[in-house]
């Protein structure tokens, strides 16, 4: 079995220092979050399932040079993952974005935005680049 090669690693930081037992890692196709010291919990999000990225930086976070990158995905078990108090959050968000796009290109996955009846935007996942959604692609159940 091959070891996973990580493109980025960090820990959740306290007052700007990596003093917690929460680790974040990014590989070519997945984003990992591992929590705990004695009891370990490990979650991952497949990058091609990421729909949106968000960056938040409170005043306290900006003082210590950290921020929170929020990852929104279509993954049923992990629809939302916060990478809390990571160093250089703007660079991390951009790195994740670049790898999400590359993962989608490798799988030929694109989400098509469809304007809903109420004016909101809905997403339909296609399995190739020229996917055209039918009328009930994003119909509510």
Residues in CB range of 110: below 8 A, 6 or more apart: 104, 126, 128, 129, 131
Q: How confident is the prediction along the chain (141 residues), in pLDDT tens digits per residue?
A: 678 899 999 999 988 888 899 999 999 999 999 999 999 999 999 999 999 999 999 999 999 999 999 999 998 888 999 999 999 999 999 999 999 999 999 888 765 555 556 655 555 554 444 444 444 444 444
Residue 53 burial (10 A CB sphere; 0-12, 13-18, 19+): middle
């Amino acid at each position: 079995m091959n070891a996973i090669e990580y493109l980025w690693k960090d820990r959740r930081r306290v007052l700007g220092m990596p003093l917690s037992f929460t680790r974040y890692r990014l590989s070519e196709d997945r984003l990992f979050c591992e929590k705990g010291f004695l009891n370990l919990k490990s979650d991952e999000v497949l990058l091609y399932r990421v729909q949106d990225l968000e960056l938040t930086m409170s005043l306290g976070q900006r003082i210590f040079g950290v921020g929170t990158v929020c990852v929104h995905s279509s993954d049923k078990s992990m629809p939302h993952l916060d990478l809390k108090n990571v160093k250089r959050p703007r660079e991390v968000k951009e790195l994740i974005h670049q790898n999400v796009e590359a993962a989608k290109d490798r799988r030929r996955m694109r989400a098509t935005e469809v304007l809903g009846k109420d004016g909101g935007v809905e997403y339909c996942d296609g399995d190739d680049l020229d996917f055209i959604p039918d009328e009930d692609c994003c119909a509510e159940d």
